[in-house]
Amino acid sequence: MKLLNRAGNMLQISKGKTKEVTGEITGNRDLESDGANDQHKGHLKQVGEKVKDAIEEL
């Protein structure tokens, strides 16, 4: 399950980056902002997975 969660988080980060770059190219600030938010969410979820792993090791 951990692997699927991490893969999903990385996918969210990648999709966010794609949205952000597309927004920059087209001048769509909303899309650019949504992409940045998606990236932040994905990174936060990754941190959460690392915290879970650290707790399990205790």
Provide the pLDDT for residue 1.
74
For 51, the domain range is 2-57
Give the long-range contacts of residues 4-7, CB within 8 A, separation 24 or more. Answer: 5/45, 5/49, 6/46, 6/49
pTM of the model: 0.87
Q: Please count the structural domains in the chain.
A: 1
45 vs 8: CA distance, rounded Å = 9
At 2, the pLDDT band (50, 70, 90 cuts) reads confident
Percent of the chain at pLDDT above 90? 91
Q: What is the mean pLDDT of the chain?
A: 95
44 vs 28: CA distance, rounded Å = 25
Mean pLDDT of 36-55: 96
